[in-house]
Chain A
Amino acid sequence: GDSVTQMEGPVTLSEEAFLTINCTYTATGYPSLFWYVQYPGEGLQLLLKATKADDKGSNKGFEATYRKETTSFHLEKGSVQVSDSAVYFCAHSGYSTLTFGKGTMLLVSP
Chain B
Amino acid sequence: EAQVTQNPRYLITVTGKKLTVTCSQNMNHEYMSWYRQDPGLGLRQIYYSMNVEVTDKGDVPEGYKVSRKEKRNFPLILESPSPNQTSLYFCASSSRGPGDNEQFFGPGTRLTVL
Which of chain B's residues have a CB closer than 8 A to the CB of A51?
100
Chain A contacts for B45, CB-based, 8 A: 97-98
Q: In the bound complex, do residue A45 and residue B43 qualify as a contact, i.e. CB atoms below 8 Å apart? A: no
In the assembled complex, A93 has its CB within 8 A of some CB on chain B = yes
Complex Cα–Cα for A51 and B44 (A): 22
Complex contact B42–A95 (CB within 8 A)? no
Please give the distance in Å from A101's CB to the nearest CB on chain B: 6
For chain B, give the interface size range.
20 to 34
Give the most central of A32, A42, A49, A102: most B CB within 10 Å: A102
A16 to chain B, nearest CB (A): 29
Interface footprint category on A:
20 to 34
Check: A44 CB closer than 8 A to any chain B CB.
Answer: yes
Give A31 Cβ to nearest chain B Cβ, in Å.
9
Point out which of A42, A44, A49, A101 has the most chain B C-beta atoms below 10 A from its C-beta: A44
The answer to the question of A94 belonging to the interface, with a C-beta cut-off of 8 Å to chain B, is yes
B102 at the interface (CB under 8 A from A): yes
Residues of A within 8 A of B (CB): 32, 36, 42-46, 49, 51, 89, 93-98, 100-103
